[in-house]
């Protein structure tokens, strides 16, 4: 066996270079060559790890989902045990908003990915599945919170889940400096306060 390299690690390095480009210059500048330059390797090396640009985008997006989940898990770990569902939802939502550098990078990558997914069946199916999965997680928390009496039994779990996810709509307002990050957090907290019957 010849020279061995951690394939996964190399792909993640490339993916992070792609993130930086998407964040700083937009996905239009995220060509195979530019990504290679950003990663400090030749474009042939990038092709060695990703047969096509699309494969690279797909991996980078899967990596976004992973890293966001990790950040959420980290945030939840800092909560009490058992954590209050209100706080769990708050962590999930705030980590999806571009409120700190890591979140901004993944947020912009997600936005670019969704836009591409509208015109690419493969990406569409993947984005759909990922988003549906995330939505299911939220709905599960909402249902449990209703069962546990944290949320009124008159609330419809599906609708409440959709309204929670709707809070990601704050993203463009934050990114374009229409509102301050603090105002975004106020909105999130206000929404959660009205959803939960008990104040954590």
Residues that bind DNA (CB under 7 A): 1-5, 7, 10, 29, 31-34, 41-45, 47-49, 51-54
* Side-chain-side CA neighbours of residue 73 (13 Å): 6
Site map for its own copies, 95-134, x if CB under 8 A? -------------x--xx-xxxxxx----x--xx--xx--
Helix (H) or strand (E) holding 99: none
Residue 138: both structure tokens together: 């939220």
* Residue (11 or 18) nearer to its own copies, CB: 18
- Rounded to 10 degrees, the C-alpha dihedral 53/54/55/61 comes to 110
Q: How far is the CB of 66 from DNA (least distance, A)?
A: 21
| Alpha helix (H) residue ranges in 78-169 | 85-96, 101-117, 121-147, 157-165
Q: Which entry of its own copies, DNA, none binds 43, CB below 5 to 8 A by partner kind?
A: DNA
Q: How many residues contact its own copies, by CB under 8 A?
A: 46
**Hey, is 183 helix, strand or coil?**
helix
Residue 38: CA count within 13 A, CB half-sphere: 20
Residues 149-168 that bind its own copies (CB under 8 A): 156, 158-159, 162-163, 165-168
Q: Which does 152 bind (CB under 5 to 8 A by kind): DNA, its own copies, none?
A: none
**35 within 8 A of 14, measured Cβ to Cβ:** yes
CA neighbours within 13 Å on the CB side: how many for 189?
8
1 vs 121 by CB, closer to DNA: 1
Binding site for its own copies (CB under 8 A): 24-28, 108, 111-112, 114-119, 124, 127-128, 131-132, 135, 156, 158-159, 162-163, 165-173, 175-179, 183-184, 186-187, 190-191, 194
């Amino acid at each position: 066996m010849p020279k061995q390299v951690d394939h996964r690690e190399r792909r993640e390095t490339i993916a992070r270079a792609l993130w930086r480009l998407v964040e700083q210059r937009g996905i239009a500048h995220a060509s195979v060559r530019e990504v290679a330059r950003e990663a400090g390797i030749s474009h042939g090396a990038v092709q060695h790890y990703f047969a096509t640009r699309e494969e690279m985008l797909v991996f980078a997006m899967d990596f976004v989902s992973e890293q966001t989940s990790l950040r959420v898990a980290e945030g939840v770990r800092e909560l009490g045990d058992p954590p209050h569902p209100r706080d769990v939802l708050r962590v999930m939502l705030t980590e999806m908003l571009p409120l700190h550098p890591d979140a901004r990078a993944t947020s912009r990558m997600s936005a670019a990915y969704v836009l591409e997914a509208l015109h690419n069946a493969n990406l569409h199916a993947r984005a759909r599945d990922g988003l549906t999965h995330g939505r299911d997680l939220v709905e599960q928390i909402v249902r449990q919170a209703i069962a546990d009496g944290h949320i009124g039994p008159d609330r419809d779990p599906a609708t409440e889940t959709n309204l929670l996810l709707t809070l990601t709509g704050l993203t463009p307002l934050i990114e374009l400096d229409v509102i301050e990050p603090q105002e975004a957090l106020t909105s999130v907290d206000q929404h959660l306060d009205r959803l939960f019957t008990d104040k954590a």
